Structure 1
Amino acid sequence: MDQARIDALGDMLFEAQRTRQPIDKIAALEPTCTIEDAYRIQSRMMDRRIADGEKVIGKKIGLTSKAIQDALGVYQPDFGILTDAMLFQDGDTIDLGTLMQPRVEGELAFVLKHDVNGPGVTALDVLQATAYVTPCIEVVDTRFQDWKIAIQDTVSDNASCGVFVLGREKTDPRDVDLRLAGMVVCKNDEVATSGCGAAVQGSPLNAVAWLANTLGPLGKPLKAGEVILSGSQAALVGMQGGDTLSVEIAGMGKCNVHFTGKALA
C-alpha cells in the first residue's frame, strides 16, 4: 500500500477517535492490507495524536490470552502505543462519553527501570529490568463500526486501546509468581470474570519479552520509565454509566475505576 493511502487511513482513524464517529473497517476498505501496512497506519494515527499534544509513556500488548483471541476471532498478539492522555489512576472516574464501544480488561502493568532491547530478550531479562508491577484496568475501544474485527483492524487502531487505569501498589515481581497469581475482575462488587498470569503467553513476563523482541529489530526499545501493559488475563467485561469495576491480583493489590456517562455502544 502506498504512503498516501496509509496516511489517509491513519487520518481517518485519528478523526474517528477525535469525533467519536466510527468508520468502516480497514479490512473492508483495503482487503489487501497486510499486518505491516496496518502498523504503518497505526503509526500515522499515533503521529497525529502526538502532534496534537499527547506524550508517549509506554506500550501495550494485545490479544495475548485465548479468552480475548476467541472473543475477537484474532489469534496472534499485537501491540500499540500508550500516551499520557490515556492514563487514569486508581479510584478515578471515567466518562464513557469520551469513548465509543468500550470493554474492560484486567491485566498486569510493568514499569521499567532499565531499557529492554531485543532480539534475544528472555523472561529473566524482563524480570531484571522491571522496577515494579501493579494491577491495571485497560478499557479497550474500537473506532470501527463494531467489534467484529480482523487483525489488520485492531493493529491499525492502536491495538484497540482506549484508556487505562493503574493501581497504587507497587510490587517487586521477584516477590510473587506472576504465572500463578490469581486475578478477579468485579463489577459493582460482584465477580464478573477471573484468570491468572499463566493465561498470558504462559506468563506476563513472556508477553513483555515478545514485545521487546518484536520492537527491537525495528529500532524501538522498551525504555526505562515506560509503562508496559502485558495483556488481559481473562474475558472482556462490558460496562455502563454508574458501574464500578475493580481488578485484584493476589499479592499485588487492587485497582478500581468508576464510570459515568454513556458510550456510543
Structure 2
Amino acid sequence: MVTENKSKIESHAKHLASAWENGEGVQPLTAVDPDLTIDEAYYVQLQTIQESVEGGRKITGKKIGLTSKAMQDMLGVGEPDYGHLTDDMKVSNRGEIPANKVLQPKVEGELAFILKDDLVGPDVTSLDVLQATDVVVPALEIVDSRIKDWKITLPDTIADNASSGLYLLGDNPKKVTDIDLKQIGMAVYKNDQLQNTGVGAAALGDPAKCVAWLANKLAKYDITLKAGEVILSGALSAAIEAEPGDHFYAKFAELGEVSVTFTE
C-alpha cells in the first residue's frame, strides 16, 4: 500500500464499514473525497479484505464486474472491475438469504469458473484460462452496495469490493471441453416471472476472456488467482432488484438451475 495514503485508505475503509454498523447505506466516497483515484479505490478494497481475513474469513475467489458495454458506458469506463469473494459470502444453492444479511441487493446470473491451477498475470490468455479451469458451474451473484441508493461512480464501486454481496453455485459442474462458453443461454426468473435472458458472449464476448483480464489486472497488485478459487466471470444480463419474500432462479442451457429465496 502507498505509505503516504495509508491513513486515507484506512479512513475510507472505515467509512464503508459503517454502513453495516448502522444498517444503511453511506455517502459515496467520491463525495467525501472527490479526488479518489482508481488505484486508491482498489487499495481501499484490499484494506477491507485484509481486515476481513484478519478477522478469520478466508478468500474463496474473485468476482468480475462491469463486463457489459452498457454498464461500462453508464459509468464512463472502458474495462471491467473486480472484487474479492470470502467464505462468509457463499450461500447454498436453493438456500435462503435473511434481510439482515443484505442492504440493497440485486441478483445477477453468470458463469463461475473453478480453477485447478494458479493463473499468474500479466500475460494470461483465454486459452490459459481454459487450461487452468477444472469446471464451470452456473451461479447467482447477489450484488449489494454500501453506498446509499446505489449512487456510485467507478471508484465507489471498486472501493466497495466491486459491490460484492453474496454468491451461490449450481450443482451441475461441466468441463470446459464439454460446453461452448460463448453460446450458453440463460434465463432468470423472479417469483416465477421471466425477468431477462442472456448468453455467455454477453461477458466481453467470452467469459474466459474476462477471467484472463482479471488475472492480468491482479498482477499489478501482486495477486495471483489460486487453484480451487471460484471466479464469477460477469453478469450475462441486467441486475434485478430483490426484496424480502422474492424467489429467484436461473436456468442455464446444459448447466442446470440455481435458485435462492430472500426472507424477512
- For the pair 1:12 / 2:15, whether they are aligned, the reply is yes
Q: Choose from 221, 225, 232 the match for 2:228.
A: 225
Instruction: From the superposition, tell whether residues 71 and 97 of structure 1 become closer, same or farther in structure 2 (CA, over 3 Å).
Output: farther
Please give the alpha-carbon distance, in whole angstroms, between the structure 1 residues aligned to 2:15 and 2:51: 11
- For the pair 1:156 / 2:162, whether they are aligned, the reply is no
Percent identity among equivalent residues?
45
Please give the alpha-carbon distance, in whole angstroms, between the structure 1 residues aligned to 2:245 and 2:26: 28
The answer (yes or no) to whether the contact 1:68–1:234 under 8 Å persists in 2 is no
Q: Choose from 158, 182, 190 the match for 1:179.
A: 182
What do the CA deviations read for 1:128-153 (whole angstroms, capped 9, x no partner)? 11010111100000001111210000
What do the CA deviations read for 1:173-218 (whole angstroms, capped 9, x no partner)? 1111111111111112221111111110111000000001111243
Amino acid at match of 1:174: T
Amino acid at match of 1:34: T
- For the pair 1:196 / 2:199, whether they are aligned, the reply is yes
Stretches of structure 1 that go unaligned for 5 or more consecutive residues are none
Please give the alpha-carbon distance, in whole angstroms, between the structure 1 residues aligned to 2:82 and 2:244: 28
What residue is the counterpart of 2:145 in the other structure?
142
Q: Choose from 246, 249, 263 the match for 1:260.
A: 263
- 3-state SS of paired residue (2:194): strand
Amino acid at match of 1:49: S
The answer (yes or no) to whether the contact 1:188–1:245 under 8 Å persists in 2 is yes
The answer (yes or no) to whether the contact 2:75–2:154 under 8 Å persists in 1 is no
Please report how far the alpha carbon of residue 16 of structure 1 lies from its aligned counterpart in structure 2 after TM superposition. 1.9
Please report how far the alpha carbon of residue 17 of structure 1 lies from its aligned counterpart in structure 2 after TM superposition. 3.1
Amino acid at match of 1:143: R
- For the pair 1:235 / 2:252, whether they are aligned, the reply is no
Stretches of structure 2 that go unaligned for 5 or more consecutive residues are none
TM-score (structure 1 length as normaliser):
0.94
The answer (yes or no) to whether the contact 1:23–1:144 under 8 Å persists in 2 is yes
Please report how far the alpha carbon of residue 70 of structure 1 lies from its aligned counterpart in structure 2 after TM superposition. 5.3
Residues paired across the two proteins, number: 261
Please give the alpha-carbon distance, in whole angstroms, between the structure 2 residues aligned to 1:75 and 1:234: 18
What residue is the counterpart of 2:89 in the other structure?
86
Q: Superposition RMSD on alpha carbons, in Å?
A: 1.5
The answer (yes or no) to whether the contact 2:13–2:47 under 8 Å persists in 1 is yes
TM-score (structure 2 length as normaliser):
0.94
